[in-house]
Chain A
């Protein structure tokens, strides 16, 4: 038995060899060319000793080679562990350990940075994507490989771990979300059904490939014989240029990107005729005025969705067809089922909420991931009667539409990326002049939320903001960097002395410190 994902892709390559399969950064590969690249990649990995079930870490950029790796890994029954390259070294080491990584594929800058800090050890092979680096195999070796799809002496059932997505930051132990090939296939097909995606679509992925959203948008078209358009890097200008040239028909974008694109379109003198037939906004509800403006410019069907990496898309709504529910994130997606639960007082159990009563959103779905890799107890903790507790708060109305109300977990979501405040607290808290500190979500029009930090200096100490920024730059990932730093005399706490993180913003507004931020 061979990998279903790889089989579908290779069949498409046989059926429509000259059709554009993938575009990225000015380069297009046809299905035949991409199939050759996938086969070469598989042969390279085999020649370097990569075996069925091995895990390969890759600080993943948006490139044609990354897209090829997914199908090569699928064909070999190998698992890809995408890593955000901007993570601090300790977090990368932790992710590599938690992901049970045997091999690494990375760029020279990654290997060089790791070496400066003591190196990361893997038992298998290290492949360098750009030119050469000591102790690694140059990726250019792929040119010597056969473009014939390798034969396999074993079965790939589809239940193997295919992609491990890391969920946590630098100090908390990461919970790798374990996605099988079958998960990916089911998720792709559910999106095909709900959004009526066909082989005629040109599907744009504009988020980083180390997130599940872009993975889906790259893998899905190649399973159904459509074309994938992969934006290498996001700025609104690059997005607009790509859309004008490549004429995508479908995309799922994060709302923070759409808000930036909207700002740009407002300034454009000439608005082009857009090719989209459908755009889906994810990760946070867009303001109705922004939605209306976008629809005016893009002239296409506009959907919003809600979901998590563990369960994939859980609800969806078409803004034009269901405008009376414009503040909702929609009804259950495909075959998903939603319930709202609340803690039963005094008991370690949950009860169902009534209609319109706010509680924790729980989702039961055939698109659920395999679990958290090697942490079944964590997944068990997150389940209730077969429903995954998302940690988000919301309610259902009488028609079964879900309304998102915020998060139960203390998270900052900036530009669709989850930031765990504790990761930031523990780093800044190491500075000797800091008595205590707390990272919190600060509202932002462009990104929804940005990371802010409130710092209480030790008595008779002064805090040098520039030193704090430099320390954060060295010890935190790019997405964790505080945009705003407030120096306070104390932090808001309850009568038990527990930090009230959600109150910090209001507390600062009350103190009138907003204009004194740095």
Chain B
């Protein structure tokens, strides 16, 4: 879980560090301009490659993945699904 979380945060922090007092898990990285719609494609593909998962269209359309916590949950669940 920590590895996935670090990976997500590292990607989001490519250009800017997150503010120090951020509630990381509830941080909406698209509304705050850290990842725009085009970078999002790159982000999703890199997560799929790194963790051997494939997002469904429903998951990609779910607003919950726009927060770090929401995205982390989806990735971790999918990885667990792969192991089972």
Query: Which of A179-187, A220-228, A232-240, A296-304 lines the interface with chain B?
Result: A232-240
Q: Using Cβ atoms and an 8 Å threshold, which residues of chain B touch A86? A: 39, 42
Number of interface residues of A (CB under 8 A): 28
For the complex, is B48 an interface residue (Cβ under 8 Å from A)? yes
For the complex, is B3 an interface residue (Cβ under 8 Å from A)? no
**CB distance A85 to B15 under 8 Å?**
yes
For the complex, is A458 an interface residue (Cβ under 8 Å from B)? no
For the complex, is A175 an interface residue (Cβ under 8 Å from B)? no
Apart from the given pairs A86-B42, A109-B14, A474-B45, 18 other A-B contacts in the complex at a CB distance below 8 Å: A25-B16, A63-B16, A86-B39, A109-B13, A112-B10, A130-B17, A233-B15, A233-B16, A233-B33, A234-B33, A473-B42, A473-B46, A474-B46, A478-B36, A478-B42, A479-B38, A481-B41, A483-B38
Pick from B31, B41, B42: contact of A235, CB under 8 Å: B31
For the complex, is B27 an interface residue (Cβ under 8 Å from A)? no
For B30, the closest partner residue in chain A by CB is A235
**CB distance B41 to A130 under 8 Å?**
no
List 14 A-B residue pairs with CB atoms under 8 Å apart, sorted by A's residue number.
A61-B16, A85-B15, A86-B39, A109-B11, A109-B13, A112-B10, A235-B31, A235-B36, A237-B31, A469-B41, A469-B45, A473-B41, A473-B44, A474-B45
Q: How far is the CA of A479 from the CA of B38 in the complex (A)?
A: 7
A383-409 contacts to B (CB < 8 Å): none
| Cβ distance A454 to chain B, nearest Cβ, rounded Å | 19
For A113, the closest partner residue in chain B by CB is B14
For the complex, is B32 an interface residue (Cβ under 8 Å from A)? yes
For A233, the closest partner residue in chain B by CB is B33
Number of interface residues of B (CB under 8 A): 22
B1-46 contacts to A (CB < 8 Å): 10-11, 13-17, 19, 31-34, 36, 38-39, 41-42, 44-46
Which A residues are within 8 Å of any B CB, using their own CB?
A: 25-26, 59, 61, 63, 85-86, 107-110, 112, 130, 232-235, 237-238, 469-470, 472-474, 478-479, 481, 483
Which B residues are within 8 Å of any A CB, using their own CB?
A: 10-11, 13-17, 19, 31-34, 36, 38-39, 41-42, 44-46, 48-49
